[in-house]
Structures are given as structure tokens and as C-alpha cells.
Amino acid sequence: MGKKALIVADMLRDFMEPQGTLYLGDAARGIIPFVARKIEETRAAGGVVIYVCDAHAPDDKEFKLFAPHAVKGSPGAEIIPELQVRPGDYRVAKTTYSCFRNTNLDAILRGEQVAGVEIVGVCTSICILETVKELFERDMPRLVYREGVADFDPEAHAFALKHMARVLGAEVV
């Protein structure tokens, strides 16, 4: 039987801290203790923790839509201090909404013989949704924790959870 992986998406200072350039608000701060607990539980169960983090160029085209954020090497691109990266965890840099596009996430999942992915982080309607879509396309079992994801837009959050459960076959718990 394969391992479980926990993808921890974009828990970065620019999104999660009030002084960040694209702060997502109280809903995002509220998930931090839950995410920290899931990380501990995953390690304790022998699973693999994969932090997937925006790392943009200063002139990334995404900044036409959103305020500049998580510029590679800047403090805002750091994982929040409440969460720790431990030896054995992975850290994957991404430049698009999807955790898979132009990253080595596929290779990590294969190398670790992962048989199911759980996902926490931000934003529900953007990175989480895009990533769950890719897991669906790969036929990889996928689970989203309601308490572990957040969005700056409550309606988009609710829609995304429903869509992931009904259309993308995710277990939403």
C-alpha cells in the first residue's frame, strides 16, 4: 500500500500575514492551527509533507490580475513561521495556480509511491481547485479538508468546495 501525501499550498507570508502584499484575511489566519496539526499527523503516520509555494519573477504576468506577491527570494515568499519545514519534507516552487505545472510534484509523488493526496492551504478557489483538477486527471485519490483551506472570497470558497466534491471527485471532509 502506498503512502499518503499532504500538499500544503501557498502558506506564505504575503498571503497569510496582515502586512503581506496579498493578505487573504481572517479566514486564512484561522486555518493555521488546523494545517499545523495535519502536518504533524501526516509525519507521525509516515506520510510525506509537500509544501508547494508560489515563487514568482518580479514581472510575472500573474501580477496583471493580482498585486505582486511571493516574489522569489523576498520575505513574502517565505513559509509562515507557524509552520516548520523539517528534514524529509519537500518544498516545491511554482509560478502558476497549479501545483503541478512546471514543477517536480509528479516525480515526488511517484518516487514516494504516494497512493493518495490530501490538500490544505490557500486559496480554495484558485490553487487548491486547480491542483485538485490535476489530481482528478491523474486519477489520484484526493481529499480536501474544509477546515484546512481558505479563500478571500467566501462565495468562491463555497463554490470551489462543492465543485471539487461533485465534479472533480474529491472527498471533501
Binding range to Zn ion, per CB under 5 A, among 61-69, 114-122, 136-144, 163-171? 61-69
Q: What cell does 61 get? A: 504576468
Rule CB under 5 A: is residue 151 a binding residue for Zn ion? no
Q: Which is nearer to Zn ion, 3 or 72 (CB)?
A: 72
Grid look-up 501526516 returns 42
Binding range to Zn ion, per CB under 5 A, among 48-56, 111-119, 148-156, 164-172? 48-56
Rule CB under 5 A: is residue 54 a binding residue for Zn ion? yes
The Cα–Cα gap between 75 and 71 comes to 8
Phi-psi sector, 51: left (phi>0), alpha (psi -120 to 50), beta: beta
Asked if 131 contacts 170 with a C-beta cutoff of 8 angstroms, the reply is no
The closest residue (CB) to Zn ion is 54
Binding range to Zn ion, per CB under 5 A, among 52-60, 74-82, 114-122, 165-173? 52-60
Rule CB under 5 A: is residue 130 a binding residue for Zn ion? no
Rounded (5°) CA angle 62-64-68: 65
Q: How many chain residues interact with Zn ion (CB under 5 A)? A: 2
Whether the bond into 99 is cis, omega within 30 of 0: no
Q: Which positions lie near Zn ion, rule CB under 5 A?
A: 54, 62
